[in-house]
Amino acid sequence: MAVLRVFPHCDIHLTLDNPATRSISFTVFQLLNAVGPYTLSPITNTCTPRYFAPHATVGSRLQRFANVDVTTGTITATGIGTNLVILETADTYIVIRIQVHQNILAWWFGNEKITTAQDPIYAHSQPSIYAMFSDDTTGTDRVGDITGHNFVRLSSGDTTILADPNSDGRIRGVAEGETDLEGSFLSITETIDVRVINYAQTRNILEPVKFGDMPNAANIHNILFVAEGFTAADEAKFDQIVTQVSTDLFLKQRHEPYGTLSSSINVFKAFTASNDRLVTCGFQVADNQISALSKGTPIPYEHKVSGDNYLVSELVRRVGLPMRGEDRNVRDLKDLWNSQGLNNFDDAKVSIRLVNAWKNSHSLGFLETRDTFFGMILGSRWADNNSTLGAPLAAVANDDDSAPLKAFVKRAYTFYSGKKAARSITMDPRRHPPELLFGDSRATSFMSFVGGLGAAAPNQTLGSAWVPDGTFKKSRGLIAMISNEHMHAGTNLNSSTLTANTINQDALLNATYVPNPNANIKKLRRDVPDNLSPSLDAMINTVAHEFGHSFNLGDEYEEFVEYSNFATERLNPSDTTSNFFDNYDNIASLEVIFDDANYLTNNSREIDPSKLKWNILPRIKLSAKLTSATQMNGGNLEVTVNSREANSWEAIRVAGDEVHLRRIVMQTDQGQQLPLSMTAADLLTGLTIVSVDESNGTIVLSSAGTLVPSPSFPEGASLYVPLKIAGVMQNVIEDKVFTELVSSKLPLNKDTDTSAVSKKADFPHRISDFKPPCQSARLVGLFEGGATWTGLVYRPAGTCKMRTSSGGEEHGEFCYVCKWLITNRVDPGKHHVIHTNFYPVAKKNE
């Protein structure tokens, strides 16, 4: 799978008049190596550029304003206007935008100061550079992002601390210390302060917050809180947040099973100070106030401004960004958009208010970067485009209404859709070099920092417990980075190795243009709110939900409507790259649970519940975790559990209940557990207890079958008694619910509408001869809608923390399947506690 990067970036600005800015060098790289650090392999000359002019009139949109020469790696301006250029390889494409202006008037740094990493090889940080261009009649932007364009000459103030920047404007720290970086161009000279940090050094700053089993920390699950955007003066505030989050996480029922599993989870924190409060925002914000869209809203805005219409961002994905000065009325714009061959555009979802908000998706400024310790970013820049898998498209001869033209338009417009939403928070590609920032990010300065963390004995070297290395690690992904930022964001990032959360839920910010004697220099600086006090409850909900992803749980909420080709494009068994849904333990898609193998051609939505991976999870009457590996004792199997639990097992012996023994298997380094292995090596059934030694917890088991070859189960394996009713083993799906699924071949949703996104809990339809639990949305079975889609993707229950983490006490809990999975991974000896306290038992059924 080829992953492409474009240097300097994907949002290029050139001018016709100034020879120094008429052309630039560019390179298309492919990331090599399975894990970081990655090798950047130049493949520019294997790319085919294809030009599209989104703002030109229909019929003339294949014209070029620049020439992309893949042989020399040069882009040269040829006319004034905007092109989207698709760079295609044999199996991948990436879209860049090129704006050609008449002239460049001024430039400035987008950073006041910047922190970067000491590194013998890689230049980590890339200061942002912005420019003001002439007021052209073509509707090109006045300000542009010329970072890495090599127009501005950069030099280090002290090369013993900071090497001189490379041609992409990236800076490499040589030794810890502070210096400055100077830039000059167009008779403008600016400097910014640079701080170099050695992230990889040992730091014994891990502090215990909650004690689960500290001496045994290396063998159990550990949570780590780190600070981003907190200054040295904010340390007490960080401490207070961590204490409250940790307390609530383990105390409140809505966050179970964390509380039940408390003795198997330690919590640590490690504080480091940032130079600035807040974190960097990659998006621009509206700098003009209109009724439909406030000043300070991210571009594009991820919310609705009216009724059943598109979100502003959905409209931008379909029609692109407005030209500067766009003043056509709604009727004219709808006519235009209907004539442009746009993908999946429905003018019934466009209102006057929405169009006004869309027109305001424009700004004269870029927000100045915040200088934080780890270099996180909210949302992303237009420059930060990613590549997409896809074979080259058929040639397009004319800008007509043909099928090839529509496919071409669809691909070109992915420039407007490939971005991270404003509410996501990830590592900033201008603080983390492309050689390190991909996949599980094990090579990043952040993970170097974590790997160097230690505490007092016996946890001097605990940091490595959180650093991915390709094997399953219990603490993997249990890092909560708390960002001192009021804009709403919560993300599980870098292949589930890190969660990042902000402390408030705001959707807009305040920023002010910094006065400058040169009126063409438009620095836009965020105002730091006086009182950045956290919304703790909402934050804790987010942390608990994001950790769910680290337990290999997918989102159970809906964000997008299932579209007409959804099954063909996403659930096609012949395309192994299209379906990641089923890797999550709590998500199933039609591709796996179909009843009719021809579902792609006959649109059958019927499901086969026997293919459902959570169907066989047992309800558990009693469980224990083995404290040592099994041994053979004569012809019997000997296991050991905590002696304090032994009397419960004596009662099982007396009752003669059947006992099972299960190896806890993580199939991937990300902790995938389902489908459960049912082989004899991983699951022994039909065991009965011969004797229990209550003094040392030793239990001798005999088997109905032969124990040949000798079973071998490790410490930590799960010994359990499956719950039986009238001699029949009970699974998490009640028998009558399963029977209903078998006979209907349909999910349980009472509300079967998949044409609209539902954010709410789903309730089950009536099941004959069965009364669901009191809060019927908790019923375990199969519900449609999940992994952000409304249809053909399924989840176990009507409500779950992975669907909605907010809401009253009755919502916001994990569903029973998610609780089972987390319990099985953290402490399978607690299955019966979870079952007794939280299984949503059906009402008494006559």
Work out whether strand 479-483 and strand 498-502 pair parallel, antiparallel, or are unpaired: parallel
Q: Does 132 bind Zn ion (CB under 5 A)?
A: no
CB of 586 to Zn ion, least distance (A): 5
First-to-last alpha carbon distance for the chain, in angstroms, is 56
Which structure tokens are listed for 701? 């088991």
The answer to whether residue 800 forms part of the interface with Zn ion (CB under 5 A) is yes
Work out the angle at residue 131's Cα, subtended by the Cα atoms of residues 126 and 136, and round it to the nearest 5 degrees.
145
Q: Which helix (H) or strand (E) holds 99?
A: strand 92-101
Contact 477, 549 (CB under 8 A): yes
* 284 belongs to the binding site for Zn ion (CB under 5 A): no
What span, in angstroms and rounded, lies between the C-alpha atoms of 302 and 316?
Answer: 10
Nearest approach, Cβ of residue 505 and Zn ion (Å): 23
The residue whose two tokens read 């299984």 is 839
Binding segment (CB under 5 A) for Zn ion, from list 110-118, 472-480, 743-751, 800-808: 800-808
CB of 760 to Zn ion, least distance (A): 15
Q: Which two tokens stand for residue 693?
A: 């030694």
Binding of Zn ion by 799 (CB under 5 A): no
Q: Give yes or no for residue 802 binding Zn ion (CB under 5 A).
A: yes
Footprint of Zn ion on 170-209 (CB under 5 A): none
CA distance 9 to 20: 18
408, 396 contact by CB (below 8 A): yes
- Signed CA dihedral, 747, 752, 754, 760: sign only: negative
Token pair for 85: 């250029």
Nearer Cβ to Zn ion (692/822): 822
Indicate which single residue of 699, 815, 821, 822 sits in contact with Zn ion (rule: CB under 5 A). Answer: 815
For 5, other C-beta atoms within 10 Å of its C-beta total 23
Binding flag, residue 821, Zn ion (CB under 5 A): no
Question: For residues 38 and 820, which CB has a smaller minimum distance to Zn ion in the complex?
Answer: 820
At 576, is the secondary structure helix, strand, or coil?
coil
Considering the complex, what minimum distance in angstroms separates the CB of residue 796 from Zn ion?
6
Q: How many residues bind Zn ion (CB under 5 A)?
A: 5
713 or 820: CB nearest Zn ion:
820
User: At its nearest, how many Å lie between Zn ion and the CB of residue 557?
Assistant: 11
Residue with tokens 């009640």: 734
Q: Which stretch binds Zn ion (CB under 5 A): 289-297, 577-585, 721-729, 816-824?
A: 816-824
Choose between 212 and 257: whose C-beta lies nearer to Zn ion.
Answer: 257
Please report which helix (H) or strand (E) contains residue 824, including its range.
Answer: helix 816-826
Q: At a CB cut-off of 8 Å and minimum separation 6, what does 554 contact? A: 581, 584, 586, 587, 786, 787, 802
29/783 with CB nearer Zn ion:
783
State which residue, 267 or 818, has the beta carbon closest to Zn ion: 818
Which lies closer to Zn ion via its Cβ, residue 593 or residue 802? 802
Stretch that binds Zn ion, among 134-142, 298-306, 392-400, 813-821 (CB under 5 A): 813-821
Which neighbouring-strand residues pair with 68?
75
Q: What φ, ψ does residue 703 adopt, rounded to 5°?
A: -120, 145
Residue list 562-621, contact with Zn ion (CB under 5 A): 586
Instruction: Name the residue nearer to Zn ion (CB basis): 8 or 812.
Output: 812
Q: How far is the CB of 781 from Zn ion (least distance, A)?
A: 12
> Which window, 272-280, 744-752, 792-800, 830-838, contacts Zn ion (CB under 5 A)?
792-800
- Residue 518 is encoded by which pair of tokens? 């040169």
- Least Å distance, CB 305 to Zn ion, is 32
Looking at beta carbons only, is 741 or 815 nearer to Zn ion? Answer: 815
The residue among 252 and 277 lying less far from Zn ion, judged by its C-beta, is 252
Q: Minimum Å distance from CB 818 to Zn ion?
A: 3
Minimum distance from CB of 799 to Zn ion (Å)?
Answer: 8
* Sequential DSSP letters for 388-428: EE-PPPPP--SSSS-HHHHHHHHHHGGGGTSSPPTT-EEE-
Closest approach, Cβ 787 to Zn ion, in A, equals 12
To the nearest whole angstrom, how small is the minimum distance from the Cβ of residue 130 to Zn ion?
A: 44
> Tokens 């992915």 belong to which residue?
414
Is residue 150 within the footprint of Zn ion (CB under 5 A)? Answer: no
- Beta strand 683-693 with 659-662 is antiparallel
Peptide bond into 54 cis (omega under 30): no
> CB 802 → Zn ion: shortest distance, Å?
5
Which C-beta is closer to Zn ion: that of 555 or that of 591?
555
Measured from the CB atom, the residue of 387 and 615 that comes closer to Zn ion is: 615
Q: In whole angstroms, what is the distance from residue 521 CA to residue 143 CA? A: 9
Q: Is position 779 an interface residue for Zn ion (rule: CB under 5 A)? A: no
What x-and-dash track marks residues 402-441 binding Zn ion by CB under 5 A? ----------------------------------------
Using DSSP's 3-state secondary structure scheme, residue 602 falls into helix
With binding defined as CB under 5 A, does residue 732 bind Zn ion?
A: no
Q: By CB under 5 A, name the binding residues for Zn ion.
A: 586, 800, 802, 815, 818
